[in-house]
Amino acid sequence: MYYLMKLFLSLSLFFGINGAVGSNQHSQPNKNPKLFVFGNSYADTGNMKPNAVSWKPPYGITFPGKPSGRYSDGLIATDFLGSEVFDSPVDRSPNISTQVGFLVDLALARRVYTIDGDLASSYALLSYSGSDYYGFIDQNPDMAAYPAFVEFIVEDIQYSLGIMNGLKFKNIAVTSLHPLGCLPRVTVASSFQSCNESYSDLVRLHNEALKKAVAKLNKEDKFRTKGDRFVIVDLHKAFMAVLEKKGSKRFKTPLKPCCEGDCARMDMKGAKKYTLCNDPKSAFFWDEINPTQEGWRSIYSLLGKSLTESLTNG
């Protein structure tokens, strides 16, 4: 099984939903828009299992001051996306296709949500952070192996987007693949001085394939009356802008994580297996994969206006 099979369900619901997920007390469609998020650590606001490392210190040190299940020192992508698109406070209260299947079950079988009411007035985000590719490139240094694997991954994403389309969301956003070669888990080899360009070709192939898949879905969309239902959240462009100091000059060493080492882990004697920076706000990355709260803030300050326009048109 690929790492994609390990992704978990994340339903981040905004604007005060009446009733909890799983409740069958839903007498009429809720007209308040919601954001349904499917993805992994870049998107999940605390649905992780209680024994996950994100529930251990120093995660959550900035917000809310203790671990909240978010893989960061504080807020993450989903928190900032909700506030940027809807301009409203956020309700902080398996693989992607499996996650979408859960929602289908909630809507069709359990009738927690109505398709023509709740979902048709709401938004969806499919957040893919490329975990499938982490080990693949190490095991397959020959670029000849990239296209087939990328096609497999993007086809799975496209399948999930198609199912989501059948649920009639007002808009469906999917993230582009960020520069994997710039993650601390990779840049540690250069003492956090430079990105590993060997990942660039794979990331480029993924994002090009994703654009084609989204264009095809928009062309075949039977539910949209104007504009495009599917939009791409260009995380790659935003990441690069910040890392190249075009979007923010706050981060002096943007490739070095604040929580360096095996974050939140202890050895057999109880000693920390990591070191922590003095100020998380000065770091773009929190751990070997995930940005800090300030990192995500800088990303969505760049994406905010264009993303809001894309998701609210029509």
Catalytic sites, residue numbers: 41, 287
Interstrand relation of 272-276 and 171-175 (parallel, antiparallel or unpaired): unpaired
Interstrand relation of 259-266 and 272-276 (parallel, antiparallel or unpaired): antiparallel
Task: Tell me if 274 sits within 8 A of 61, measured CB to CB.
Answer: no
Residue 252: name the closest of 287, 208, 221, 282 by CA: 282
CA atoms within 13 A on the CB side of 297: 16
Strand intervals (E) in the chain: 35-38, 123-126, 171-175, 230-233, 259-266, 272-276
Q: Which residues contact 239 (CB under 8 A, 6 or more apart)?
A: 178, 179, 182, 299
